[in-house]
Amino acid sequence: MRRLLALFLALFLSISSDGALALHTVEKRSAATALASPGLLVMDQSEKKVLSENKPDSLRIPASVLKLMTAVVVIQNLGADTTFTTSIVKMAKEDEILVRGSKDPFLTTSRAIADKYGHKNLLTLVNRGNPNNLKRIKIFYEGLYPKDVYNLSIGMKNKKIRAKFIEVSSGQADEIGKDEIASLTSAPISKMIEHLTLWSDNLVADRLADAAARKAGNPTTGSGLTATYKDVLTGLGIASEGLKVRDGSGLSKKNQVSARMIVDVLMAIRRDAKFNSIYEGLPIAGETGTLVKRFENTPEAKGNVRAKTGWVSNSVTLAGYVKSGEKEYAFAILADGITPSLKYRNRARAAMDRLLEAIVKGDH
């Protein structure tokens, strides 16, 4: 009987010490020097308990982690199923064509990008409006981004076509347009969101953020974007005091977000099925997207982390979800005090990977 009690006690102490060691390891990893005292929060979603934190309400430069918030704002304001249409329309003269767009965020003139990512090809559409391959044409247009017009002009030059571009208003387009020749319909916003989270597409993120602001009746300036984001977060019950948004991509160093805001957004994503495309698009540790080459030295984390990466100047960030047994934690690590060099950025990334592996391995 004594032997049985001794064995039971030894087993109990072993299990308890393992749990304590795992928690100690998480705290130790959170305080890693390489992270330079980041804004950090790791939250048990089911019990809403904090596993680890460090200055979670301090405002930090989020880099591309901001795309998580952008994605939520876009779906909330525009809808996951929304698409964009671009059409080519006949005009009175053979050498004149009209392009009517709707500011499609997923438009390109690159065949390679269209084939790889599912963007619609504006150049292919315009070619259908010039079936006789005339070498001098006028292209009237509305609802196109300046970058798309520029890229289209390059495409025309490459085809040895001298094209004059003339922007018109929607009302003018109604007057000068005749019959529609052809049109393109974009992938739904849900697919765009999967793309931008998986591949961290800055252009698509910025365009979608602008579209969300316009839908809300706000300008696409920093103040307009901030107001748009704040309104959506407030509607979701998320505090946003101090939030500053200067773009949708996270490239601006003037963006200001806290780790708590990001974690609250992550938990909102998991509560509502309309945000599923955000979760599904997130890169998986060691397997897909921008995380395919991460966690090489932390094998336990591979396949157990879905997260958005980010970096700009002295900020290195990571936010998403990490699984440990049957539990899933939401986390945000915003380390914006990193020396701006590849060596120190990589040290910060490695420290983040070790922290997440410790969470995966721990029995919390």
**Are 130 and 195 within one domain?**
no
User: Of 167, 187, 207, which closes a domain?
Assistant: 187
Write down how long the chain is: 364
User: Of 172, 187, 202, which closes a domain?
Assistant: 187
Residue 286 lies in a domain: yes
Residue 18 lies in a domain: no
**Are 352 and 240 within one domain?**
yes
**Are 182 and 111 within one domain?**
yes
**Are 32 and 92 within one domain?**
no
Residue 17 lies in a domain: no
The pTM score is 0.90
**Are 281 and 300 within one domain?**
yes
Q: Mean pLDDT throughout 237-241?
A: 97
Locate 62 and state its tokens. 């989020």
Domain with residue 263: its CATH number is: 3.40.710.10
Q: Residue 3 — pLDDT band, cuts 50, 70, 90?
A: low
**Are 164 and 138 within one domain?**
yes
Domain interval for residue 248: 28-80+191-361
pLDDT for position 25 = 85
Q: Mean pLDDT throughout 316-335?
A: 96
For residue 21, pLDDT beyond 90: no
Tens digit of each residue's pLDDT (9 = 90 or more) over 72-114: 999 999 999 999 999 999 999 999 999 999 999 999 999 999 9
User: Of 128, 154, 187, which closes a domain?
Assistant: 187
Residue 23 lies in a domain: no
Name 25's Cβ contacts closer than 8 Å, sequence gap at least 6. 358, 361, 362
**Are 320 and 237 within one domain?**
yes
**Are 219 and 123 within one domain?**
no
**Are 176 and 203 within one domain?**
no
Residue 2 lies in a domain: no
**Are 113 and 239 within one domain?**
no
Domain with residue 134: its CATH number is: 3.50.80
Residue type, 335: A
Tens digit of each residue's pLDDT (9 = 90 or more) over 182-220: 999 999 999 999 999 999 999 999 999 999 999 999 999
Q: Give the chain's domain count.
A: 2
**Are 280 and 342 within one domain?**
yes
For residue 313, pLDDT beyond 80: yes
Q: Mean pLDDT throughout 280-291?
A: 96
**Are 346 and 208 within one domain?**
yes
Q: What is the dihedral of CA 246, 249, 250, 253, to 10 degrees?
A: -50
Residue 209 lies in a domain: yes
